[in-house]
Amino acid sequence: QQKVQQSPESLTVSEGAMASLNCTFSDGTSNNFRWYRQHSAKGLEVLVSIFSDGEKEEGRFTAHLNRANLHVSLHIREPQPSDSAVYLCAVSMINAGAKLTFGGGTRLTVRP
């Protein structure tokens, strides 16, 4: 059964400093990785999707995937206080109906 773990549990950065979040997964056959964020008690906003090893950039958000190391990371360039939220890593297979397995989340706080 897929296990997805995120670190750190919480992270505080100053506005403008790079924020880096980590996610490890257990099933090396996974090929569908997404980062979502959730502002308090609201729905999930998809930030970036990545399906193959390497890097994928969407605006200020960059995901790095290394499937051999069972690791996917998210880097947030020039974070702003409005980026303060819980960031969730979600892992699945690419096929319709494939269930996402979520990590426990990283709570990011960006100080002005």
Residue ranges that bind another protein, judged by CB under 8 A: 32, 34, 36, 41-46, 49, 86, 88, 90, 94-102, 104-105
Give kind and range of the element (H or E) at residue 24. Answer: strand 19-25
Half-sphere exposure of 33 toward its Cβ, with a 13 Å CA cutoff? 32
- Shortest Å distance, C-beta 97 to another protein: 4
Exposure pattern of 32-57 as b/e (b: 16+ CB <10 Å)?
A: ebbbbbeeeeeebeebbebeeeeebe
**Residue number, 41 or 68, with CB nearest to another protein:** 41
C-beta of 17: minimal distance to another protein in Å? 24
Smallest distance from another protein to CB 74, Å:
16
CB atoms within 10 A of CB 92: 20
CB of 104 to another protein, least distance (A): 6
Q: Which is nearer to another protein, 5 or 69 (CB)?
A: 5
Nearer to another protein, 62 or 106 (CB): 106
DSSP state letter for 3? -
